Amino acid sequence: MPLPSQKKGRVIFHIDMNCFYASVEMAHNPSLKGKPLAIAGNPNERRGIIVTSSYEARAKGVKTTMPLWQAKRLCPELIVMAPAFERYRAASTEIFRLLAEVTPYVQPVSIDEGYMDVTEISKKENPIDVARRLQQKILHQLDIPCSIGIAPNKFLAKMASDMKKPLGITVLRKRELHRTLWPLPVGEMYGIGKKSAEKLQEIGIETIGDLAKKDVYQLKAIFGINGERFKNRANGIDLSPVDPEAVFDFKSIGNSQTLIEDTTDKVVIRKLMNSLAEQVEKRMKRKTVVGKSVQLMIRYHDRKTITRSKKLQMYIDNKSDILLIAQELFENHWNKEPVRLLGITVQDIEDKHSIGQQLDLFTYEEEASKEKLYNTVNQLREKYGKHTFKQLKATEPSNTQPRTSFQKDFLDDYRKLK
């Protein structure tokens, strides 16, 4: 399917579900409506963390990522529920089905938000009317509120959808940025995290307007190519298309490598796994993605191949976590026969930016999840010695062949709609 023209005159929607998990629970059980509701990991434990909450709870100070004990102190009447993953997936599937009825140019970016290119439709009908009708259809059919941003590009549409919640429809026009976007604190700009905002403030950039006017060479000196991207976006420039196929580009990042000689030598195997995990981390950092599942491939001397994976309760993107899970899988599933090839893949990939503020599916309870990793480390250290996870030098094992990456094909929820 050819993408719409990227010339001037595009009309882009950003659809963002309001308090998605809480809204789905209210739709499932209407008696929860109007009450302070929070979705939290391990709700029966004091250290549980708030995943999302209703507006009634937020009015009492309850916020995403807040410890559960603190939320209950602020709001004693808070109703706390554990996440119902399949319920949220089912609701997301229905939402994107409704979006696809409006236009084929729909690009999901997370379970509860996506972009739509309605340029052709807007030639026949006012985009605000289209947005209002879609918003009401989702509300009436699924009982889930959403906000819609309307703009000439994806960045501005994303910023617009955040400006009015719940059930907001906001239009951002480039000619009005000096009064609608530029007065906002630079930390509220999509794509700029806390650390980047602090660096910008150190050079006198307090608002998005300050960023829009800043010398691009000074920005690039600090942020590299992202500095220019920051400035362009602050000026309302974003040429990226709404690409329905982008969701299928990759959902896993992995590397595999064949050993020159089949081996049972754990030193050689450990060095290879370290190298593979390092390469996977580099690719993930380059693509600015995180994942929540690790898969290990083992091919034996007789070419028999097995794959084993472990799904996590948090997103990871660093070598140490990737290597730890891969080593756990290896110790649990290696049959002691000579190994010909090893592969490590991180699956269930998501863009870091799309899981920033509202924790996306399974990203809650980071600290609790880390405890499982620590327990595994301790168990393996007890079995193989305290230096089991000693940092290895980033050198190529001398008896290996060039590595290749591999990916496991799969169909995600959205693809099933097509």
Residue 110, token pair as written in the block: 């997370």
- Crossing angle of the two packed helices 319-333 and 266-287, in degrees rounded to 10: 140
Q: What is the mean pLDDT of the chain?
A: 85
Tell me how far the alpha carbon of residue 256 is from its chain's centroid.
25
At 403 the pLDDT is 40
Do the bridges between strand 12-17 and strand 37-41 make them parallel or antiparallel, or are there none, so unpaired? unpaired
Is 16 assigned to a binding site?
Answer: yes
Asked which of 16-25, 111-120, 166-175, 379-388 is least confident by mean pLDDT, the reply is: 379-388
At 248 the pLDDT is 61
Instruction: Give the model confidence (pLDDT) of 266-307 as tens digits.
Output: 999 999 999 999 999 998 888 888 999 999 999 999 989 999
Q: Is the per-residue pLDDT at 249 higher than 70?
A: no
CA distances from 297 to 226, 332, 348 (A): 35, 13, 16
Catalytic residue at 113? yes
User: Helix/strand/coil (H, E, C) string of 220-279?
Assistant: HHHHCHHHHHHHHHHCCCCCCCCCCCHHHCCCEEEEEEEEEEEECCHHHHHHHHHHHHHH
Q: What pTM was computed for the model? A: 0.64
CB-based contacts of 266: which residues, under 8 Å, 6+ apart?
Answer: none
CATH topology of domain 250-409: Dna Ligase; domain 1 (3.30.1490)
Active-site residue (options: 113, 281, 328, 365): 113
The dihedral built from the CA positions of residue 209, 213, 216 and 219, taken in this order, carries a sign that is negative
CA pair distance 105, 414, nearest whole angstrom: 13
Instruction: Give the model confidence (pLDDT) of 372-415 as tens digits.
Output: 555 565 566 555 554 455 444 334 444 434 343 322 333 344 55
Please state the domain extents for the chain. Answer: 20-85, 88-178, 186-234, 250-409
User: Of all residues in the chain, what percent carry a pLDDT higher than 90?
Assistant: 66
CATH number among 3.40.109.10, 3.40.50.150, 2.40.128.20, 3.30.70.270, domain 88-178: 3.30.70.270
CA distances from 268 to 29, 67, 129, 139, 385 (A): 56, 43, 64, 58, 17
CA distances from 194 to 187, 213, 365 (A): 7, 21, 21
Asked which of 30-44, 69-83, 297-311 is least confident by mean pLDDT, the reply is: 30-44
- The residue ranking higher by pLDDT, 387 or 150, is 150
Considering only the top CATH level, what class is 186-234? mainly alpha
At 350 the pLDDT is 84
How many helices and strands, by DSSP H and E, does the chain display? Answer: 15, 13
At 406 the pLDDT is 28
CB-based contacts of 11: which residues, under 8 Å, 6+ apart?
Answer: 117, 118, 119, 121, 122, 127, 150, 152
CA pair distance 268, 401, nearest whole angstrom: 13
**Could you give the maximum distance between any two Cα atoms of the chain, in Å?**
70
Asked which of 66-70, 180-184, 235-239, 348-352 is least confident by mean pLDDT, the reply is: 348-352
Considering only the top CATH level, what class is 20-85? alpha beta
